[in-house]
Amino acid sequence: MAVTLKPQTIETVQTDPMVPVPYRVLRVRRETKDTFTFELQAVTGERFPFAPGQFTMLYVFGVGEVPISISGDPAHPEILVHTVRAVGTVTKVLCRLKRGDILGVRGPFGSSWPMAEAVGNDILIVAGGVGLAPLRPAIYHVLSHRGEYGRVALLYGARTPGDMLYKKELAEWRGRFDIQVEVTVDAARPDEWHGNVGVVTTLIPRAQFDPYHVTALVCGPEIMMRFTILELQKRGLRDDQMYISMERNMKCAIGFCGHCQYGPNFVCKDGPVFRFDRVKGIFGKREI
């Protein structure tokens, strides 16, 4: 006797957070020597609504799964965008995927940047290295709701001009005149770079914002975030005005497995975005 699957059964399978949904690679763009941006679309054509700061689990079939922040525009959920640096086994294979290839996607997962809570405030965005990728959806959101926020400053640091992400967009944002964009690199040749040289924390004293009415969004390697917070505190920011995005070894992404435990939190479920005062006691502790 033939068995007919009820639509309800199919729906249940597709929304199981542990089951990857097939996505097709639409476009690959090389950002730096080891970092690529992928545009993906569900094979079914389904949209992928998400909040800025959330992440997905990308599954390269037969290789493994990795957590990657979403770096696309939340106003365009028909395309899922990820920027990936080839650093481990899975990401190295992932970065070799071509247009038309299929991979699995689970998500979106985790907490998000406080875009609603920050309405009415100045916005200060501090990014280091590939940390600009998880912040890009927040930048898109701020720029498309520009009237809801006060002064906006983006401070971005990279090792060299060749390691910078989204160069074209940085130039476009800078050209808008309603956002302060400052970029710095650790070292550069004078014939290849005309911008700032120094670590990203040196840009903080010249950022324009009202320290009493600002929300700071910070993302980058943990050590960069530590020193950024120290500089922001010097400018008078309170701990509850600063948000950071944490990175840990995430596996299940729904708070079951405990791989990403961070003190009393699971980074996958309670994070990756944390208000700083909520993790202040454990942030930077080498035992945690």
Partner 1 sequence: MDTLERLLSEHPFFKDLDPRYIQLIAGCAREVTFKAGEFIFREGDPSSHFWLIRSGKISLEVFAPGRGPIMIETLGEGDVMGWSWAVPPYRKQYDARALELTRAIEFDAMCIRGKCDEEPKLGYELFKRFAQIIGQRLQATRLRLIDIYGSHS
For the bound state, the minimum distance from the C-beta of residue 85 to partner 1, rounded and expressed in Å, comes to: 6
Q: How far is the CB of 94 from partner 1 (least distance, A)?
A: 15
Least CB distance from residue 158 to partner 1, whole Å?
A: 6
Half-sphere exposure of 172 (CA within 13 A, CB side): 7
Q: Which C-beta is closer to partner 1: that of 51 or that of 125? A: 125
- In the complex with partner 1, the residue whose CB is nearer, 51 or 165, is 165
Residue-wise DSSP of 68-128: EEB-S-TT-TTSEEEEEE--SHHHHHHTT--TT-EEEEEEEES----TTTTTTSEEEEEEE
Give the binding site for partner 1 (CB under 8 A): 34, 85, 87, 128-131, 157-159, 163, 184, 186-191, 193-199, 201-202, 205-206, 220-224, 227
State the minimum distance, in angstroms, from the CB of residue 253 to partner 1.
Answer: 21
Instruction: Find out whether 75 and 144 touch, Cβ atoms under 8 Å.
Output: yes
Nearer to partner 1, 203 or 217 (CB): 203
Which of 287, 218, 285, 269 minimizes the C-alpha distance to 111? Answer: 269
Alpha-carbon torsion angle 181, 182, 185, 186, nearest 10? -150
* Residue number with CB closer to partner 1 (115 or 158): 158
Q: Which is nearer to partner 1, 41 or 196 (CB)?
A: 196
Sheet-wide strand order for 196-197:
196-197, 180-185, 152-158, 122-128, 214-219, 242-245, 273-275
| Shortest Å, Cβ 200 to partner 1 | 8
Largest CA distance in the chain: 76
